[in-house]
Each structure stands twice: as C-alpha cells, then as structure tokens.
Amino acid sequence: MVREGDTRVMIDCGTDWLGRIRPLAPTAIVLTHAHADHAAGLAKGAPCPVFATAETWSLIDRFPIDDRHVIRANVPFRIGKLRFEAVPVEHSLRAPAVGYRVSRGRTAFFYVPDVAALPEPANTLRGVALYVGDGATVMRSMVRKRDHHLIGHAPVLVQLRWCADAGVARAIFTHCGSGIVRSDPRAIAGKVKGLGEEQGVSAALARDGMVVSLDA
C-alpha cells in the first residue's frame, strides 16, 4: 500500500485478498501482472479504479471490474499526487509483467515483486531512493530461458548488484519464497543484510505491518 495524503494505492491484489479488499479502502489498485497471486483477489470485482496494462487486462477480462484503466509501458500516469510509470520486466511469457517507478516530487522508489531480468538496471533505477524487489530466492537462480526470453525469478544477490550499479542505497525484498519463509528469521535476515553490505546497499526483508517513510 502506497500512501500519500488521502491517497492509498494498493499494488497487486492476489488470491489471499479475495473478499478482503474493502476494509483496506484503497483509492486505486495497480497491477504488475495477471498471475493469480497478484491479480486473482479481484475475481469478484473491485471497490475502486484498477490500473493495468492491456496484456494484463486481456488475461483477467472475465473479472467483473467496472472502473478499468489501461496503462502503457513507460508512459507516466498519476493517482492523486503520486506519479506511476510502468516498466516492462522479464518474468513470464504467459503473463507479461511490469515494475513500477513511483514518485512524489523528487523522491522515487521502484517496486517489482516478480522479476527475472530488469532492462538496463542502471538507467531504470537511476535516482531511486528505495528498491522493493523479488524475494523468491536469496542466491539460487530461478531464471531460465524460453524462446530467447528470461523467465522466473532473479535472486536477491543479483538484484542487489542492480541496485549497486544504479547507486540505489536501500533495498527491501518482499513476496518471499520458501527458502526465506522456512529459514530461521534472524539468520536469513542477517544473510540478506550481509549480502547488501557487500554491494554497498542497505538490504532487509519485508515483514507484515512494515511501514517505510520516504521524504518527498
């Protein structure tokens, strides 16, 4: 949930949110892609406008969502005072994905919960204060090639290298895989922190209820 003043934007709405969205009172919902763990919470509709790419809408067309907004890659749009820009990333051929550069004034963060490869990381992440990335795996690669495209999940270590190359000082990893979820919390948090230190990036794992403030 991204909050700015009275604006509350929910990024993605997976199956576990089905029937539980209204209490969150989002101003809008923005989708990264159509996989069930990112979009199926909208299978019975949405209480607010929903923003997604044409590719994503084509895959969830049957969902009874009344207020639909089609966004285009690399074309900024606004929700309240927040500026969003969808950046195509490699993750899935069946459900093309984007990450979002979200900014307010001169402050920006980048959110990409599922990613195998990021186009030109140094340029994509330039000027970003915080990277919120894919926690599917810490060091083991889950990336494979299909039809000349990379699919799957880049490990935390690779994403930290993207951040280092772009000068991003802080990274948080969410949407965590079993390698993180089933590990000792202190041990795995220390591992991620240590990998970040090696790259010159302050790195941490997300947790339920976590709040991060960025000055605009």
pLDDT in tens, the chain (216 residues): 999 999 999 999 999 999 999 999 999 999 999 999 999 999 999 999 999 999 999 999 999 999 999 999 999 999 999 999 999 999 999 999 999 999 999 999 999 999 999 999 999 999 999 999 999 999 999 999 988 899 999 999 999 999 999 999 999 999 999 999 999 999 999 999 999 999 999 999 999 999 999 986
Neighbours of 37 (CB within 10 A): 15
Residue 115 maps to a domain: yes
Task: Examine residue 91 and state whether it is found in any structural domain, yes or no.
Answer: no
- Quick one: tokens of 9? 């934007």
User: Residue 167: left if φ>0, alpha if ψ -120 to 50, beta else—which one?
Assistant: left
* 111 and 204 co-located in one domain: yes
Shared-domain flag, residues 138 and 70: no
Give residues with Cβ within 8 angstroms of 101, minimum separation 6. 84, 85, 87, 108, 109, 110, 124, 128
- Give the C-alpha separation, 140 to 208, whole Å: 24
Q: Are residues 118 and 34 both part of a single domain?
A: no
Contact, 189 vs 176, CB < 8 A? no
Q: Tell me the helices (H) and strands (E) count for the chain, helix number first.
A: 6, 14
| Co-location of 126 and 80 in the same domain | no
**In this structure, are 114 and 199 located in the same domain?**
yes
Report the CATH number at residue 67.
Answer: 3.60.15.10
Query: Which helix (H) or strand (E) covers residue 53, if one does?
Result: strand 50-53
Structural domain contains residue 93: no
Nearest-angstrom CA–CA distance, 157 and 187: 16
User: Domain containing 27: what range?
Assistant: 1-84
User: Cα separation of 88 and 126, whole Å?
Assistant: 16
Please count the structural domains in the chain.
2
Query: Of 112, 210, 98, 96, nearest to 147 (Cα)?
Result: 96
Beta bridge partners of 104: 107
Residues 180 and 70: their CA atoms lie apart, in Å, by: 34
Residues 7 and 40 in one domain: yes
Q: Last residue of a domain, which of 21, 50, 84?
A: 84
Which of 138, 122, 131 is closest to 100 using CA atoms?
Answer: 131
